[in-house]
Structure 1
Amino acid sequence: MTRIVIVEDELDIASVVQDYLRHAGYETTHFADGQSALDHLIASPPELTLLDIMLPRLDGIEVLRRAREHTSHPVIMLTARIEEVDRLLGLELGADDYVCKPFSPRELVARVRAVLRRTAPPAERSQALQGMHGLMLDDVHWRASLEGTPLNLTRREFGLLQVLSRHPGRIFSRARLLELAYDDTMDVTERAIDSHVKNLRRKLGAVTPSHDWIRSVYGVGFAWEAPGQG
C-alpha cells in the first residue's frame, strides 16, 4: 500500500486529510513537528510527504532542505503563506507541488494522485494494478478490465469502481461516493451516482452475468460484493 506521511501541527486539518487519504486507499502516518518528521523521512522514506511550512521545532522549509540530502521522494508543501518567495523557495529546494490553505480535501487527494503518477518510475507508470477475482485497475490511464476483458469505462465510472472495489463489503452512501470518487463534483449529483452504478453493473455483468458485483443497500447506498463474499 502507498505510504503517505502528513506533517501538520494543526490536528483538525491533519485528521481530515488522513481520513480522506485513507478512504482513497493510502496508508498514512502523521507527525505534528518538523524534527520528528525529518527523523522518520530519513530513516524510512514514504512514497509521498505532505509537509506544512509552519511547524514547531523545525519548520517545513528546513525539513525539506535536510530531507533532500537523503531522499528524493515527492513532497507536496502545505501552507497558509501565499507569498511568491515562499513558493519559489519550496520548489527550488525540491518540492513537487504547493497547496495553499484553506484547501479542499478532495482537491488535495487529486493533487496527491497526480504527483504520484508524475513521479512514478516508467515501469510503474505503465503497470496495471492487479485486483482480486480477475479485476485489474490501471490508475494511471483510467482503464479497467475483468477476467482479461476491457470494461471501457468512463472516467466517472472508473472513479466509482476504484472506490468500491478497494473496500469490499463496505457500504458507501451516495454522498460519500461523490466525495471519494470524484475530484471535481461540480457537474455530478447524488442522483447521477445511480446512473453511473447502473452503467457499471451493465458492463461488469456483460463479462460475468452470473454475479452482481455491486450490491444496493436500500436507503443507504452501495457496496462491492466479491464472489463468495456474502
Structure 2
Amino acid sequence: MNYTILIVDDDMAINDMLVKYLRKNGYITYSAYSGTEALLFLEKQKVNLIILDLMLPGLSGEQVLAEIKKTKNVPVIGLSAKEDSKSKIFLLKNGADDYVTKPFDIEELLARIETILRRIYENQYTSNSLLCCGDLNLDTIGMEATLKNQKLPLTKNEFAILKMLMEHPQQVFTKDMIYEQLWNEALEGTENAINVHISNLRKKIAAIDNSKSYIKTVWGIGFKMDI
C-alpha cells in the first residue's frame, strides 16, 4: 500500500525535507503551507495521514485540527516547538494521534508514522490484498494481474504503476508523482518513460478487453483509473 501523507508546515525547508525523506521511504506526499491551504486541499483529496505544524500563519494548527476532525477520520501528527505538557495534552485530547517536538529526529518521526499507519490501516488492507476495478484484478501479494479471468502479463514497473492507480482510484497521479514513486528521484526530462509504460499497459489491457480504457488520461495533469 502506497500511503499518502499531507505535510502542513509554513517552513519551506522543513516541508521540503519531509517531502524528500518520505518519498524516499515509499510514501506519496503533498505539501500545504498554511491551514487554509490544507483545508482546501482536503476538500478535494483524501490522504492517509497528516503532519500538522501548530504555529501556522492565519489559522493555527489547533484550529486546523478542529476543522479536520469535524468531517474526517484521518490520523494527525502534531509538530511544534512548544515543549509544555499542556500543549501536548490539548492536542491529544482534541484528536491528534501523536505529537513531536521540534527540532525532531526524522527517523523517529518516520517510526511514529509507520506505527500509526500500521495500527489504523494494517487490518483493513491485509484482508484487501486483492485490488479490483471492474473485471481487472490485482493480487498485490501474489504479484499477479488478471482481466476477465485471463492472466495479464505485466513487467515490474507496469505492475507498480497499475497498483498505485488501483490503490487510489479517485486520485489523479502526475507523471512526476509516478516517476518519483517508482525510481525515488525527480522527473527530469524523461517523462517519455512514463508514457511508454502507460501505453504498454493500455495495449495489454485492450488485447483482452477493449470495451473500456481502465486507465484514463486527465489532460494537462496525469492519469487515474477509469471507474
| TM-score when normalising by structure 2 | 0.56
Alignment of 1:1-230 (within 5 A): 1-120=2-121, 122-125=123-126, 130=140
Secondary structure at the counterpart of residue 72 of structure 2: coil
Q: Number of paired residues?
A: 140
Against the structure 1 CA distance between its residues 40 and 107, is the aligned structure 2 distance closer, same or farther, given a 3 Å change threshold? same
User: Which amino acid in 1 is paired with 2:110?
Assistant: V
Deviation at 1:76, TM superposition (A): 0.4
Deviation at 1:15, TM superposition (A): 1.1
The answer to whether the 8 Å contact 2:10/2:34 transfers is yes
The answer to whether the 8 Å contact 1:3/1:47 transfers is yes
Against the structure 1 CA distance between its residues 132 and 23, is the aligned structure 2 distance closer, same or farther, given a 3 Å change threshold? farther
| TM-score when normalising by structure 1 | 0.55
Against the structure 1 CA distance between its residues 170 and 94, is the aligned structure 2 distance closer, same or farther, given a 3 Å change threshold? closer
Render the CA deviation track for 1:177-202: whole Å, top value 9, x for unaligned: xxxxxxxxxxxxxxxxxxxxxxxxxx
- State the alpha-carbon separation in 2 of the partners of residues 121 and 168 from structure 1: 22
Deviation at 1:169, TM superposition (A): 7.3
- State the alpha-carbon separation in 1 of the partners of residues 184 and 55 from structure 2: 37
Deviation at 1:42, TM superposition (A): 3.5
- State the alpha-carbon separation in 1 of the partners of residues 182 and 46 from structure 2: 29
Render the CA deviation track for 1:81-111: whole Å, top value 9, x for unaligned: 0111111111111100100000111111111
Gap runs ≥5 in structure 1:
135-165, 172-230
Secondary structure at the counterpart of residue 7 of structure 2: strand
The answer to whether the 8 Å contact 1:42/1:70 transfers is no
Against the structure 1 CA distance between its residues 124 and 8, is the aligned structure 2 distance closer, same or farther, given a 3 Å change threshold? same
The answer to whether the 8 Å contact 2:23/2:184 transfers is no
User: Which amino acid in 1 is paired with 2:98?
Assistant: D
Deviation at 1:126, TM superposition (A): 6.0
Identity across aligned pairs (percent)? 34
Deviation at 1:170, TM superposition (A): 7.4
The answer to whether the 8 Å contact 1:3/1:27 transfers is yes
Deviation at 1:123, TM superposition (A): 3.1
Gap runs ≥5 in structure 2:
130-138, 145-179, 186-227
The answer to whether the 8 Å contact 2:51/2:77 transfers is yes
Deviation at 1:132, TM superposition (A): 8.4
The answer to whether the 8 Å contact 2:23/2:181 transfers is no
